[in-house]
């Protein structure tokens, strides 16, 4: 099959992972992402890597474990790239491979347009933005988010370490999405109180024509209303209380990303923030569940303690915007 339109982004992906000749590289994909997977395979082959492609069934949920014997097999490689319909980021298989020193880039539900456009970013600049923002978040004890659509939520960040998704994967065990560009943290369980009005997109729903409003009490989604509410509730309810856990807060830092309906790209868009429900053990939380779904908020205002970090989607501090 022709892969020329994917070739540049495929090579950029391998550059992010610093893939070298003779390294063992594994491409994990399902039937919906094979065009991108084969482009990555060809690019790795051109470099001289020892590359293999494994096709897995399309998973039901983000965070579902890949089938045996793949989890154990993943530990045997130098680098893994996973363009899949559902995310393997928040799986024990991915975590164990990372602990074993494998450099991993996941591409959950990546669109062709995202692969072609948003991969071609300056990851050195993204890394600087992420690290500067992380240093500010690191000092905060609490975070508050408001938005014109009705978001007003506060949560504790005490003793939680924010993580960065820079797209630069040069060390053993490094892990990132591609395209990259976010700083994120797991809110302390049961600490979040308020309302989240998602108005960008939601995993499993797509672009939001009207706000999707979720009331958060003691860290859990309670009431859900608005556009796509039924779909979101079906996903959350399938996993009981753990599915309702407010798992993640993140801020986008990729200037090549645009809102398109795919959370992989949408959560990286500068001028947005995102919250996720479900699993947070991957980012230092305490909830392990086979679900992790992100929703996007446009034009947010964000405070770290009393310091204004973003105002209506624009960074209010130097070194980031």
Of all residues in the chain, the percent with pLDDT exceeding 90 is: 93
pLDDT band at 321 (very low <50, low <70, confident <90, very high): low
Higher pLDDT, 164 or 61: 164
* 130-154 pLDDT, tens digit each: 999 999 999 999 999 999 999 999 9
pLDDT score of 62? 87
pTM of the model: 0.90
* 282-314 pLDDT, tens digit each: 899 999 999 999 999 999 999 999 999 999 999
* 195-226 pLDDT, tens digit each: 999 999 999 999 999 999 999 999 999 999 99
Burial 18-46 (b: 16+ CB within 10 A, else e): ebeeebebbbbbbeebbbbbbbbbbbbee
* 252-265 pLDDT, tens digit each: 999 999 999 999 99
pLDDT band at 109 (very low <50, low <70, confident <90, very high): very high
Which pairing describes strands 79-84 and 103-108: parallel, antiparallel, or unpaired? parallel
pLDDT score of 1? 42
Dig out the tokens for 100 from the structure. 């074993």
For each of the domains in the chain, give its residue range(s) and CATH number, in order of start.
4-117 (3.40.640.10), 123-315 (no CATH)
- Asked if the model's pLDDT at residue 3 lies above 60, the reply is no
């Amino acid at each position: 099959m022709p892969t020329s339109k994917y070739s540049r982004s495929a090579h950029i992906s391998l550059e992010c992972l610093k893939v070298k000749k003779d390294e063992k590289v594994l491409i994990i994909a399902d039937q919906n992402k094979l065009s991108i997977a084969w482009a990555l395979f060809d690019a790795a082959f051109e470099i001289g890597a020892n590359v293999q492609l494994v096709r897995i069934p399309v998973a039901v949920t983000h965070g579902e474990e890949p089938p045996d014997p793949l989890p154990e097999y993943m530990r045997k490689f130098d680098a893994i790239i996973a363009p899949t319909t559902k995310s393997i980021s928040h799986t024990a298989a991915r975590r164990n491979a990372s602990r074993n020193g494998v450099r991993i880039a996941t591409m959950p539900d990546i669109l062709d347009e995202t692969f072609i456009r948003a991969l071609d970013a300056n990851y050195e600049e993204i890394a600087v933005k992420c690290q500067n923002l992380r240093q500010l978040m690191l000092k905060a004890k609490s975070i508050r988010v408001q938005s014109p659509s009705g978001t007003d939520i506060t949560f504790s960040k005490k003793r939680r370490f924010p993580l960065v998704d820079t797209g630069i994967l040069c060390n053993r065990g490094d892990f990132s999405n591609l395209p990259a560009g976010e700083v994120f943290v797991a809110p302390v369980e049961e600490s979040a109180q308020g309302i989240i009005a998602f108005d960008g997109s939601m995993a499993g729903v797509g672009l939001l024509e009207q706000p999707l409003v979720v009331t958060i009490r003691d860290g859990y989604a309670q009431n859900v209303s608005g556009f796509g509410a039924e779909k979101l509730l079906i996903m959350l309810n399938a996993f009981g209380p753990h599915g309702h856990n407010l798992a993640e807060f993140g801020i986008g830092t990729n200037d090549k990303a645009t809102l398109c309906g795919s959370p992989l790209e949408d959560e990286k868009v500068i001028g947005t923030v995102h919250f996720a429900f479900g699993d947070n053990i991957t980012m230092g939380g305490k909830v392990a569940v086979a679900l992790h779904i992100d929703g996007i908020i446009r034009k947010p205002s964000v405070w770290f303690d009393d310091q204004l970090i973003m105002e209506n989607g624009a960074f209010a501090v130097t070194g980031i915007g």
